[in-house]
Copies of this chain bind each other. A is one copy, B any other.
Amino acid sequence: MAEYIAPIRDMQFVLNKLVGLENVSRLPGCEEATSDLVDQILEESGRFSSEVLSPLNQSGDKEGSSFENGAVRTPAGFKEAYRQFTEAGWNALQFPPEFGGQGLPTIVSTPVAEMWKSANMAFSLCPLLTGGAIEALLLRGAEEYKRMFLPRMVEGSWTGTMNLTESQAGTDLALIKTRAVPATDAELGPHYRIFGQKIFITYGDHDLAENIIHLVLGRTPDAPEGVKGISLFIVPKFLVDKHGSLGERNDVHCVSLEHKLGIHASPTAVMLFGEKDGAVGYLVGEENRGLEYMFIMMNAARFAVGLEGVAISERAYQRALAYAKDRIQSRDVAGSDKSVPIIRHPDVRRMLMSMKAHTEAMRALQYVVAASMDIARRHPDREERMRHQAFVDFMIPVVKGWNTETGIEMASIGIQVHGGMGFIEETGAAQHLRDARIATIYEGTTGIQANDLIGRKLARDGGATAKVVIQMIRECEAELAQAATGAEGAELAAIRESLARGTSAFAESAAWMVRSYKADIKAAHAGAVPFLKLAGIVCGGWQMARAALVAKKKLDSIAKGGTGDAAFYQAKIGTALFYADHVLSQAGGLRETVMHGARGVMALAEEQF
């Protein structure tokens, strides 16, 4: 089967026409991110994805990472691929130049990361986790630790992990028990000894890098109970001296790997800290503020997992499309002499359109948020920064929750397009569903995202940010109304109508949610996930509508003798129309569920289940 091909044409369309890459490249520190350089980066990362990562996706899944004699071995080819990955500088793309990074903005690292995830999600988790650990150190690490750890982590010769979960403490980190005892061995500088067991540690141990830098949540002896008594520690697999050289093996070990539904190549470790004298750990920032630091990083981590939804949808779509063009079965429903490729069958085409439309909507939304992350970080004007930060904060749970839920659905449709072959593992379609299934769970389940959305992001500011978003969508509707003339005018009018209805449903639900959050907190929470889904559908539809507007302008210009890829722009409008009729159309029903659904959710006593 053909390997993954990066959808560079659509990525460029989103970057240049929907996101405003130009504006981002005018930000201080982003001057290098010109359209030309970005094109070059996309070409190169696309090639690396197709040639190096994609060929290892299925073999990595089949073989899986293994744990033998106390060591984790990644599947055949992963070590060499990771060497090439770091040598080509891919690990360093978005990190600060002072630690060896290339300092490129999120809007550039996002499509690149999408490619890694599409080509080989299990592989991509290693740099993802390293990136998370780097961010934590950049944000709150002491200078000394930054110098000790960051250059090698940015380069990728050391990787990072996040050690949060314990068997009794998943979503509820207040229940963490891992202990961190201040220690006094002068040679090691100020440090703690860490004791405890962590589970679900992605790339907790492996053979790709010389060292692994664990970031670990734990409690000091006198820490307050609950979330306010959790501190964050750096625990390297091998101790590191001040010059960055590797020293002794630290007292932290992988004790087993989980047997998972998907992402088999990514080792998910149970990690034991302090089997003997305690693992040496260095405090990040101040004691008892570990969870706060984690939350600072949360946006980036959740954004990255949302991107997995986009990436798996794209990959599943490519595979289903190739099969549908190739597989000959049954005659055309409108009549044909012989059996035809199944892409000619309306229901197969419906499934492919659903995958295409959802993927493009999610991608556009994801990249728009990425650009806002850059602006929020780097814009010289404080108000502009705050405005974009509010947008980012609002959108992160939507992007994380909706894109990952949709990713599962699209991967499942990808199987369906294959018929019986989809159920056979050799085909490769099933792996995407298995891999996608984790993304609605880790970095906060969809329920947690939805609670974050209705609480911190919606109710806390009384719906102000939501109103700004709704106002932007209303402006897009007005533009659609104006543009709905001539060729493709009917399509734009239909898109506008569906978007308008969806936006009203979203606005009414948001207003209800703000009221209910005060009046009836349980009712609000009962409607949280349907509300998140509604927000995702409408915001995705907004981006599809924006894309249709751009396409319409391009087509008008082409009609007047201008140049351009008319087929691409016509397809954009057709895809936006599909989205309007098949996806945005769900908005009204979701409003009903949000605004009335709580009575059924809470109707039964626990014993009645």
Which A residues contact B (CB, under 8 angstroms)? Answer: 165, 168, 170-172, 174-175, 199-200, 258-262, 321, 325, 328-330, 333-334, 339, 343-353, 356-357, 408, 412, 415-416, 419-420, 422-426, 430, 433-434, 437-438, 440-442, 445-447, 450-451, 491, 494, 498, 521-523, 525-526, 528-530, 567-568, 570-571, 573-575, 577-582, 585-590, 592-593, 596-609
Beyond A346-B522, A578-B597, 5 extra complex contacts between A and B, CB < 8 Å = A171-B329, A262-B423, A345-B525, A567-B608, A581-B597
14 contacts between A and B (CB under 8 A): A171-B419, A172-B329, A172-B330, A200-B420, A260-B424, A261-B425, A325-B606, A348-B447, A349-B526, A567-B607, A574-B600, A575-B603, A578-B601, A581-B599
Report whether B339 and A172 are in contact in the complex, using a CB–CB cutoff of 8 Å.
yes
- Assess A441 versus B422: contact at CB under 8 Å? Given A347-B526, A447-B345: yes
Other-chain contact of A440, B330, B416, B425, B529 (Cβ < 8 Å): B416
Measured between beta carbons, the chain B residues less than 8 angstroms from A440 are 416
Report whether A446 and B416 are in contact in the complex, using a CB–CB cutoff of 8 Å.
yes
Report whether A577 and B599 are in contact in the complex, using a CB–CB cutoff of 8 Å.
yes
* Count of this chain's copies in the oligomeric assembly: 2
Report whether A579 and B602 are in contact in the complex, using a CB–CB cutoff of 8 Å.
no
- How long is the Cα–Cα vector from A321 to B486 in the complex, in angstroms? 56
Report whether A347 and B450 are in contact in the complex, using a CB–CB cutoff of 8 Å.
yes
Measured between beta carbons, the chain B residues less than 8 angstroms from A175 are 329, 339
Measured between beta carbons, the chain B residues less than 8 angstroms from A592 are 498, 581, 585
- How long is the Cα–Cα vector from A412 to B498 in the complex, in angstroms? 29
- Assess A609 versus B172: contact at CB under 8 Å? Given A416-B445, A419-B445, A420-B442: no
- How long is the Cα–Cα vector from A356 to B604 in the complex, in angstroms? 11
Measured between beta carbons, the chain B residues less than 8 angstroms from A172 are 329-330, 339
Report whether B604 and A426 are in contact in the complex, using a CB–CB cutoff of 8 Å.
no
Measured between beta carbons, the chain B residues less than 8 angstroms from A423 are 260-262, 437-438, 441
- How long is the Cα–Cα vector from A581 to B350 in the complex, in angstroms? 27
Q: Which residue of B lies closest to A603 (CB)?
A: B574
Report whether B420 and A437 are in contact in the complex, using a CB–CB cutoff of 8 Å.
no
**A536 shortest CB reach to chain B, Å:** 15
Measured between beta carbons, the chain B residues less than 8 angstroms from A451 are 333, 347
Q: Which residue of B lies closest to A577 (CB)?
A: B600
- Assess A521 versus B333: contact at CB under 8 Å? Given A596-B581, A604-B353, A608-B567: yes
Report whether B585 and A593 are in contact in the complex, using a CB–CB cutoff of 8 Å.
yes
Measured between beta carbons, the chain B residues less than 8 angstroms from A521 are 333-334
Q: Which residue of B lies closest to A455 (CB)?
A: B333
Report whether B589 and A529 are in contact in the complex, using a CB–CB cutoff of 8 Å.
no
Report whether A350 and B589 are in contact in the complex, using a CB–CB cutoff of 8 Å.
no
Q: Which residue of B lies closest to A431 (CB)?
A: B261
Report whether A604 and B262 are in contact in the complex, using a CB–CB cutoff of 8 Å.
no
Q: Which residue of B lies closest to A608 (CB)?
A: B571
Measured between beta carbons, the chain B residues less than 8 angstroms from A343 are 606, 609
Report whether A347 and B587 are in contact in the complex, using a CB–CB cutoff of 8 Å.
no
- How long is the Cα–Cα vector from A602 to B172 in the complex, in angstroms? 48
Measured between beta carbons, the chain B residues less than 8 angstroms from A593 are 581-582, 585
**A252 shortest CB reach to chain B, Å:** 21
Could you say which of A420, A586, A590, A597 has the most chain B C-beta atoms within 10 Å of its C-beta? Answer: A420
Measured between beta carbons, the chain B residues less than 8 angstroms from A567 are 605, 607-608
- Assess A437 versus B441: contact at CB under 8 Å? Given A329-B170, A347-B526, A347-B528: no
**A241 shortest CB reach to chain B, Å:** 36
- How long is the Cα–Cα vector from A343 to B165 in the complex, in angstroms? 20
- How long is the Cα–Cα vector from A250 to B343 in the complex, in angstroms? 40
- How long is the Cα–Cα vector from A168 to B339 in the complex, in angstroms? 11
- How long is the Cα–Cα vector from A604 to B567 in the complex, in angstroms? 9
Other-chain contact of A412, B437, B450, B601 (Cβ < 8 Å): B437
Other-chain contact of A330, B171, B258, B491, B581 (Cβ < 8 Å): B171
Other-chain contact of A589, B330, B353, B587 (Cβ < 8 Å): B587
Measured between beta carbons, the chain B residues less than 8 angstroms from A357 are 600
Measured between beta carbons, the chain B residues less than 8 angstroms from A609 are 321, 325, 343, 352, 356
Other-chain contact of A577, B408, B419, B603 (Cβ < 8 Å): B603
- How long is the Cα–Cα vector from A437 to B409 in the complex, in angstroms? 12
Measured between beta carbons, the chain B residues less than 8 angstroms from A437 are 412, 415, 423, 430, 433
**A214 shortest CB reach to chain B, Å:** 18
**A333 shortest CB reach to chain B, Å:** 5
Q: Which residue of B lies closest to A495 (CB)?
A: B600
Report whether B608 and A574 are in contact in the complex, using a CB–CB cutoff of 8 Å.
yes
- How long is the Cα–Cα vector from A442 to B592 in the complex, in angstroms? 35
Measured between beta carbons, the chain B residues less than 8 angstroms from A606 are 325, 343-344
Could you say which of A346, A419, A437, A598 has the most chain B C-beta atoms within 10 Å of its C-beta? Answer: A346
Q: Which residue of B lies closest to A526 (CB)?
A: B346
Report whether B582 and A597 are in contact in the complex, using a CB–CB cutoff of 8 Å.
yes
Report whether B347 and A447 are in contact in the complex, using a CB–CB cutoff of 8 Å.
yes
Q: Which residue of B lies closest to A591 (CB)?
A: B585
- How long is the Cα–Cα vector from A573 to B422 in the complex, in angstroms? 39
Other-chain contact of A603, B424, B568, B578, B607 (Cβ < 8 Å): B578
Measured between beta carbons, the chain B residues less than 8 angstroms from A259 are 424-426
